[in-house]
Amino acid sequence: MRPAALRAAIEADLAAGVVPAIVVATIGTTSTTAVDPLPEIGAICAEHGVWLHVDAAYAGAAAVCPELRWSHAGVEFADSYCFDPHKWLLTGFDCDAFWVADRGELIEALTVMPEFLRNAATESGAVIDYRDWQVPLGRRFRALKLWFVLRWYGVEGLRAHVRSGVALADRFAARVAADDRFELAAPHPFSLACFRLPAGDEASAELLRRVNHTGRVLLTHTRIGGRYALRLAIGSPLTTEEHVDAAWALLSAAAGDLLAT
Ligand SMILES: Cc1ncc(COP(=O)(O)O)c(C=O)c1O
């Protein structure tokens, strides 16, 4: 998200008599894991009283590592923030961790209080009714599995997992960068590397098809600035340097065959 474009959009809304209500910024976009410039975006939202939600669904896990917290600069501007431990923090699907600066506004929007839900504990104000923080009334005890993950791995275990993913993506990206047949398609701040064949979109798409057809890897793709890119994502605690090197060997051999024809 470009701060200048955001400011222009807000100003255009105001000029048209429309009230801008919410901005959703992303730390670690789905396609490429890009990080929005939150300090600038947050200041613009604060200036205009616009709710700022920060979506760190995947990259929120990076914040367990002090050296990766640069990615969360400006998060203090957030009115709400979420990340999914089920993505990169070793927790079974599904589990979203949600934080809100002022729960009053959320509860005001979502609370329902039919007679059959009235009870003394709620009325005393001594309990937090999380049913008022969401659209459904009922909820599963998702926090329990996250608690087990935190207890089992501990903070150092979680950090080791995240650091391993980042190091493996770096290792793979270094192979890509050193080979003229390939190019990196975006920065790789976390555990995803996006790359392509400069030979073109069709060649890149065919490369993806061929390596996935072997059944030994499963890569996905995206488009960056309209151009096709392959995505190699690392997330399992079982993935090692040998797996990454094997994936690279497979890609390299397939590219060799493809570019020779
Ligand atoms: C940045 C981002 N936001 C949201 C989502 C959706 O996540 P959920 O599983 O919570 O629906 C994804 C999933 O890919 C994501 O990468």
What is the distance in A from the centroid of ligand 1 to the CA of 95? 11
User: Which residues does a 6 A CB cutoff place in the pocket of ligand 1?
Assistant: 26, 28-30, 55, 57-58, 84, 96
Answer for the pair 45, 143: CB distance below 8 angstroms, yes or no. no
Cα–Cα dist 98/73, whole Å: 18
pLDDT of residue 112: 86
Cα–Cα dist 59/76, whole Å: 16
CA 68 centroid distance within chain: 14
Local mean pLDDT, 10-residue blocks, the chain (261 residues) = 98 97 98 98 98 98 98 98 98 96 92 91 91 91 97 98 98 98 98 98 98 98 98 97 98 97 80
The ranges assigned to domains in the chain are 3-145, 155-260
Beta bridge partners of 106: none
Cα–Cα dist 199/120, whole Å: 69
pLDDT of residue 201: 98
Mutation choice for ligand 1 from 82, 87, 190, CB with most ligand atoms inside 8 A:
87
What is the distance in A from the centroid of ligand 1 to the CA of 97? 12
CA angle in degrees (0–180, nearest 5) for 37-38-41: 90
Fold classified for 3-145: Aspartate Aminotransferase; domain 2 (3.40.640)
Q: Which CATH number applies to 155-260?
A: 3.90.1150.10
What number of other Cβ atoms are within 10 A of residue 21's Cβ? 9
Task: Name which residue sits closest to atom 7 of ligand 1, judged by CA.
Answer: 57
Mutation choice for ligand 1 from 27, 30, 71, CB with most ligand atoms inside 8 A:
30
pLDDT of residue 113: 87
Write out the DSSP string of 123-177: HHT-S--GGGGSSSS----HHHHHHHHHHHHHHHHHHHHHHHHHHHHHHHHHHHH
pLDDT of residue 92: 96
